[in-house]
């Protein structure tokens, strides 16, 4: 029980202090219909379809993908659903796991950078 409490406290501290460091200003809509990154670090968790890794950038269609970007005053939190195309830069702190022989469905969890929602 103590171990669970310590791990939960550590995750809360990382999310809190990570938000103080990032200081995001919110999404920026560009001319090509993409909603640009929510700051430097975004936490992602969920399922994607057909994840493709090109030049350290993962692009996929989101079945259900939760994103959270802590900020100093405003937190950007949301869920991307309905096979909406998303992309993000793969770093050391994010895991994209595609079990099975066909690697059609993938699971994403961790902190990434340059998260974009393509509409």
pLDDT in tens, 60-107: 999 999 999 887 887 889 999 999 999 999 888 999 999 888 889 999
Q: What's the domain range around 41?
A: 2-118
The model's pTM is 0.65
What is the rounded distance in angstroms from the CA atom of residue 34 to the CA atom of residue 80?
13
- Between 46 and 37, the higher pLDDT residue: 46
Query: What is the total count of domains within the chain?
Result: 1
For residues 3 and 97, which has the higher predicted lDDT (pLDDT)? 97
């Amino acid at each position: 029980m103590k171990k669970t409490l310590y791990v939960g406290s550590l995750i809360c501290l990382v999310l809190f202090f990570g938000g103080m460091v990032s200081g995001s200003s919110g999404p920026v809509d560009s001319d090509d219909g993409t909603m640009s990154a929510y700051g430097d670090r975004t936490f992602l968790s969920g399922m994607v379809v057909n994840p493709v890794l090109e030049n350290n950038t993962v692009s996929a269609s989101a079945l259900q993908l939760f994103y959270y970007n802590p900020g100093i005053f405003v937190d950007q939190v949301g869920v991307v659903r309905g096979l909406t195309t998303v992309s993000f830069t793969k770093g050391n702190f994010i895991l994209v796991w595609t079990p099975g022989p066909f690697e059609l469905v993938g699971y994403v969890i961790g902190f990434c950078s340059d998260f974009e929602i393509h509409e």
